[in-house]
Structure 1
Amino acid sequence: MTVVALADPAATEAFGARLADRLAPGDVIALRGDLGMGKTSLARGLLAALGLAGEAPSPSFAIVQPYAPPDVRLPVLHVDLYRIDDPAEIDELGLDDALYDSALLIEWPERAGDRWPDALVLTLAPASDGGRILTADVPAAWRRRWPI
């Protein structure tokens, strides 16, 4: 487990950008944390580093926001499971099929149960100084690419 202090939203986006250098098709990054902790900021930093021009919208209402070349260097599905009540609903999203050629960024992964056991789990929590504490639970598939 790795712990990283993130001073502000810019530091959170910068961490996402560093993560983009190690991202590959088939990867799942699970972003955990309460509302307002920076999950979408981290995803925006990652997507910008992959080449996305402009700001990535939050996938809260769409549930799945896809990004594909040439807008980004590799296909990514940014997923927000906040509105999912039953893990069985996730089957309808086609996320497992997407892993053949895409990476998944999953906000609110706890709504999916243990669906992606090999995911890199990043948990964001408040720090006493107003920043964020990121805790990374690094699975075997990520260990050769870690630390960021």
Structure 2
Amino acid sequence: MIGLTPYAVSMVTMLSLAAGTDYVIFLLGRYHEERSKGLEREDAFYVAYHGVSHVILGSGLTIAGACMCLTMTTLPYFQTMGLPCAIAILVIIAAALTLAPAVLTVASKFGLLDPKRELSTRGWRKVGTSVVRWPIPIIFVTSLIAII
């Protein structure tokens, strides 16, 4: 039996939401990239899954391993978080590699995930150029806005 403290439950929730969202963004972003290159839906899915699945697996196993290291600490606060967090990440990996592609496939059959338009980077390019040209005034203005 795994003891779940309120801290462990909070960490499991936070890690699950963060990692799950990140992994779906990886997959969906790669799918959009391939669709915008002109690939058909099925081909774009296979290329996206092939390109992202090993990244998801490696990232998730790294996080799960780090969470398991928490069980070896001398502080009970961290010991109780290790195993539940590691198990949660393993479940998220399984969902990201099985459920997310299934949802992506069904949604893409209805055209829900196709890129709607070509994105324009013109505005952000101007912002980036301004920041590089005038870093000190930009830092001053943004700091002033943040303080207010």
Larger RCO: Structure 1 or Structure 2 (Cα < 8 Å, ≥ 6 residues apart)?
1
Query: Which structure shows the higher helix fraction?
Result: 2
Which TM-score bucket, shorter chain as reference? under 0.3
Normalised by the length of structure 2, the TM-score is 0.21
Query: Which structure shows the higher strand fraction?
Result: 1
Normalised by the length of structure 1, the TM-score is 0.21
